[in-house]
Amino acid sequence: MPIRSLAAVGAVAFVLASHATATLLGSSATSQKASVNGARDRNVKVMLELFQAIEARDPNHRDLQRELALYQPDVEFHWPSALPYGGAFRGLAQSGGRSWSETWNPLQPTARERKMDPRVIGADDHQVVMLYHQRGVSPGGERFDGQVIGLYELRDFKLSRAQMFYFDEASLVRFLERAASETKRPPR
């Protein structure tokens, strides 16, 4: 992983953990603590539901009602630019280029590949940081299993911004390139 990516991941985790700790320790009123804890806990629940929805998705049928319940209409996604779906996008319908779903649905044909094992590593009343696995299998049978840290911002208990940091972005890019070339080969 490039040093700047490691630094970004560490900085995100440190800033969020520091902010959450300061928010919780600096509040003198019990009701403020309960309010922050309530919002934090509810945001964590939303993010775990979102991960469950991604893991349980049917690649052939989009569940718009569930998406609308979990995402803000103007949600922003920020992916590393080296990825086929890289860049910053606003809204649930990505225009131009390849989307995350177009890239990963063919590489995650079973629940085994869609399993992300999400774990909350920090949260406050507006943000949740999660560690999870991105898994896939190429048409030729090559498997990928990489760790990702996601920084998620929520507004009104719906996802409003997501930025992902892959621990080994270079390996992921190579896997996706090989998988794409296998898909383009004519059958023998």
CATH code of the domain in which 116 resides: 3.10.450.50
* For range 96-122, the mean pLDDT: 91
Q: What is the pLDDT of residue 23?
A: 44
For the chain, the domain total comes to 1
How far apart are the C-alpha atoms of 107 and 116, rounded to whole Å?
14
Between 18 and 124, residue with greater pLDDT: 124
Indicate the pLDDT class of residue 181, thresholds 50, 70 and 90.
very high
Whether 108 contacts 114, CB under 8 Å? yes
Structural domain for 120, as ranges: 3-184
Tell me the pTM: 0.78
Nearest-CA neighbor of 154 among 53, 72, 48, 77? Answer: 72
Q: How far apart are the first and last CA of the chain?
A: 37
Q: What is the pLDDT of residue 116?
A: 97
pLDDT above 70: residue 2: no
**Residues making up the chain, counted from first to last:** 188
How far apart are the C-alpha atoms of 43 and 153, rounded to whole Å?
9
